[in-house]
Amino acid sequence: MTSSIRARRFWTVLLAIAGLSLIWRIVFVLVWRDGIFIYGDAYFYHESGRQLADGVGWVNPLEYNNDGTQSPAADHPPLYILFLGFWSWVGLAGPTAHMILTAIFISTPMVIMTALAAREFGGRRLGLIAGGLAAIYPNIWSWDGTILSEILAMLFLSTTVYVVYRFWNRPSFGGAALMGVSLSLATFSRAELLLLSVLVVTPMILLVKQWDWRTRLSALVIAGVASAAVLAPWVAFNLSRFEKPVYLSEGYQITLATSTCDATYYGDFTGYWSMTCPEQFLAEAGLTRENSDQSERSAVLLEKSIDYIQENITRLPTVVVVRWLRIVGLWKPVKQSDVDAYLEGRDLWVTRVAQTTSYVFMALAAAGVVIMRRRRIPVLPLVGPLIAIFITITITFAQNRYRASVEPAIAILAAVAVEQMVRGWLALRDDPEDSETSVDREASSLT
């Protein structure tokens, strides 16, 4: 079979997977999510997009809808709000429309990019398996019904993994710049993904064996400049509209505060979060939305959180361990899924199915890491995002949503294990063509 025929077959199967995935996601939204009550961060994203389309600007949507107050807001990175704002501007401004548009223009490309990322280092068969797993994994598709930026973060996580492996296979200055751009777009979806600059992009550039150190450092500078060029307009805009400096977003300070008080250091919600924490800190400081802006409140929340951590430093190791256990579903999993369903705005049956299937995917992903190491394939582009999440929850709190952005990496690692099983099954069939493991065949499978 010629390479062109194989390529056409790959794209035919991949587009079929993506199409079936889209059909399911639309059915899921229309049957289970149509008419849902929007609250929390979903309300912020949804209403911010609508207000952006109306020309109100980047303000707190709750305050604006309540009394017309136009307080500048930067609770979240801007990319998903821009996406929703565009569709609201063209007249598709309802919650169900926003969810379906997310499924069409974000989730479907995410399935395709996950497949391409896996194909880049493991060949077409691995790519199709990874795309299939990304399509059926409940911890991925369930986010289509939430109006949250997690799906967008998944898309750009998959894209970043793809461009990193592409750079590794064919190093170039253009590839380095593309990594910087992709990294910034991921950061504009979920701010903690900026950690990938240190955990993935930098080491992958510095480890390129074909280049001398001068070339590696030049590529690193190019990646950094490309990334900064994408981030700079938003950062400059934020610096111009708050009393105190705000860069990407003001989400970190309140996130830290929600996880730093007696309610989250002791008792049933250890390692989780509670809005009573920042409310208590702001009350102690005498700050309200009427007498302060977001940057001033954030500064107080950060200061109070650090003070509380220092006063309860002996309790911190226990809290951190519980956070780690929560993120992998090993700390009171039934209660965790129940609470996540309410606080994340997901259906209870969805969070329970997602929790249950995640154990299978994580076990396969662990096996995938071992297999890739044995094949001498770099695992850092896939393990680095997982490390970033553990760093994030170590200093904040753990809930299922915090791992959502890196679920495509888990799906790809799981696909490596599944593909190894397929190899073993084909070998047992004693089919010389499919079980061949020569260097030439392995090389051809990567093209």
Neighbours of 20 (CB within 10 A): 14
Query: Token match 């704002």: residue?
Result: 85
Residue 196, CA atoms < 13 Å, CB-side half-sphere: 38
- Give the rounded percent of residues in the chain with a pLDDT score beyond 90: 72
Tell me how far the alpha carbon of residue 334 is from its chain's centroid: 23
DSSP state of 239: H
Rounded CA-CA distance 79/248 in Å is 11
Residue position matching structure tokens 């395709």: 112
Distance, in Å, from the CA atom of 401 to the CA atom of 355, rounded to the nearest integer, reads 12
pLDDT of residue 5: 86
- pLDDT at position 430, please? 66
For 154-158, 306-310, 366-370, 433-437, which range has the lowest pLDDT when averaged over its residues? 433-437
Tell me the pLDDT tens digit for each residue of 5-22: 888 999 999 999 999 999
| Contact present, 82 and 385 (Cβ < 8 Å) | no
Tell me the pTM: 0.91
pLDDT for residue 1 is more than 70: no
Q: Is the pLDDT of residue 434 over 80?
A: no
User: What CA–CA distance (Å, rounded) separates 402 from 150?
Assistant: 9
Given this model, what pLDDT does residue 24 score?
Answer: 97
pLDDT at residue number 210: 93
Whether the CB-CB separation of 164 and 201 falls below 8 Å is answered with yes
For residue range 68-121, what is the model confidence (pLDDT) as tens digits? 888 888 888 999 999 999 999 999 999 999 999 999 999 999 999 999 999 999
Instruction: Specify the 3-state DSSP secondary structure of 59.
Output: strand
pLDDT (0 to 100) of residue 68: 85
Kindly report, residue by residue over 173-198, the tens digit of the pLDDT: 999 999 999 999 999 999 999 999 99
Q: Single out the residue of 246, 291, 295, 31 nearest to residue 145, CA to CA.
A: 31
